[in-house]
Structure 1
Amino acid sequence: MIVRRERPADHRAVGDVHRAAFPTAVEARLVGELREDAGFLPHLSLVAVDGDDVVGHVIATRGWIEPLGAPALGLGPLAVRPAVQHRGTGTVLVHTLLAVAEAAGERLVALLGSPHWYARLGFRPAADLGLAPPDPAWGVHFQARRLAGPEQRGTFRYAAPFDRL
């Protein structure tokens, strides 16, 4: 398996991965909308490829922290084909994304997900870092990981397509 930047020719396969990994097509549709959004960062849309097959995908898009508008990243969705789950593909995708983000000078990555799974990757409840979620009901499922730079406090905002979910 290799991880590389997503290419336009991968779009259909990426959509298939998200539809296979989730019970509805919401995530696949969201990925398509994120690609069209001003917050899309092509270098942070990555695929895991096994031979010629796309087996996983992760994306991070431009978010910000209010009230000052400090830039940050919103990670997700992340998907791995069910047939290859529990083999480390998701972990490799997230680690690669974090490395690319850090090399690009990003300061913080936030996400909504399983506290148990993402804690293994260095994420912690965002409240511990002074970040409030867009929806207070998310509680400990809203997590963040600081990459570099000074502390940023405030309320996290995702790219616009997340607001339409």
Structure 2
Amino acid sequence: MKVHSPNEQFRELLEELSSKPFKDMSPEKFKEFVILFWHSKKDFSQDLKLEVDTKLKSKEQKVRALYLLDTLRRNWLISDEQDKNIKEVLASYKELRPAKKSESAELKVKNYRLSTIAFEWGLEEDACDQMQNVIQYQTRHYANTGIANKYGDPTP
């Protein structure tokens, strides 16, 4: 069994998770991705850029990947530096955000059935249902399991 570096793991999971509608993504793969992103303390901004520029083929897949990172970066577990770096990469793809959103998406966001982040990226689906399955991993309790973060003591 090949052992992947966190960066390789990040890129592989991002490619897989963005390849299909969010409702069809593997809950286990999503959990693995979220824990890696929130708790590894690694800066994956260049991995995101590499993946979007070279591996993700369709505009829809790129937008799904960018939306996921835009959503996950807003968690308190992400350092200010990580957040800044991811935001810079996201900003470099602003041309992928449609100027005019679909009427369907406008109606969904108005009725609270679509996140505003997904709406801004021009999506008509979001990962809010999947986020419910990983909410336990954004708590101080999980963060204090020995994994360093900006709010807890460093790992001994």
TM-score band (shorter)?
Answer: 0.3 to 0.5
TM-score (norm 1): 0.32
Which structure is larger by alpha-carbon Rg, 1 or 2? 2
Ranked by relative contact order (alpha carbons within 8 Å, sequence separation 6 or more), the top structure is: 2
Q: Larger helix proportion, structure 1 or 2?
A: 2
Q: Larger strand proportion, structure 1 or 2?
A: 1
